[in-house]
Amino acid sequence: MTPDDLHKALSCLLGLPLRAVGRVVGLVWLSFGASHEQQMHNGRTRVVGDWALHLSCPWRFVHCDTIVLASGDLYCAPEGDDPCDLNAGQESRFDRLAVALNDGCTARTRIASSLRVDRVGGFSLSFQDGCAFDVFPDETRCGPDIEYWRLFRPGNDSPHFVWPTGIE
């Protein structure tokens, strides 16, 4: 897979607003584009965006010269540096900081404006408000059971773009 392939896959996010950031245990998700209600298997509904990005590798949000939210925040208690157990449902520093980041997304539209990719699945998505989102796979492992990030359209049967395994 070439950087051009990565750029082509991720360029669908350009011009779209970042709607929300959240997590399910240790998997972080980002929602881009217009919001839609989606029926879930259990009969409930949830709000999703046009595009979803799921992350299982290191990442960070930067505004100006400050990291405002990063993957390491998942594993720290909201106050101090004590570890938190995500599998036990504990609140993490991520949860508190994500609220502030999401409030910023609704207060002013955070539009994806430029994209840079590298040769190993990393990328940086810049927003019109000066915020940037960086993703950087940081392991040598690779194979059919390894997934660092995934881009897809929720509720759509189109193929997912998965790094490093390619189009699925």
Question: What would the pLDDT profile of 5-37 be if each residue is shown by its tens digit?
Answer: 999 999 999 999 999 999 999 899 999 999 888
Q: Which two tokens stand for residue 39?
A: 């029926």
Using CA of residue 109, residue 95, residue 155, residue 37, what is the dihedral sign?
A: negative
Would you state the pLDDT for residue 168? 44
Would you state the pLDDT for residue 82? 86
Global pTM? 0.89
Please give the average per-residue pLDDT across 141-167, as a whole number. 83
Residue among 62, 91, 61 nearest 78 (CA): 91
Would you state the pLDDT for residue 7? 95
Query: Does 166 score more than 50 pLDDT?
Result: no
Question: What would the pLDDT profile of 63-114 be if each residue is shown by its tens digit?
Answer: 989 999 999 999 988 888 888 887 777 889 999 999 988 888 776 779 999 9
Residue among 158, 132, 152 nearest 63 (CA): 132
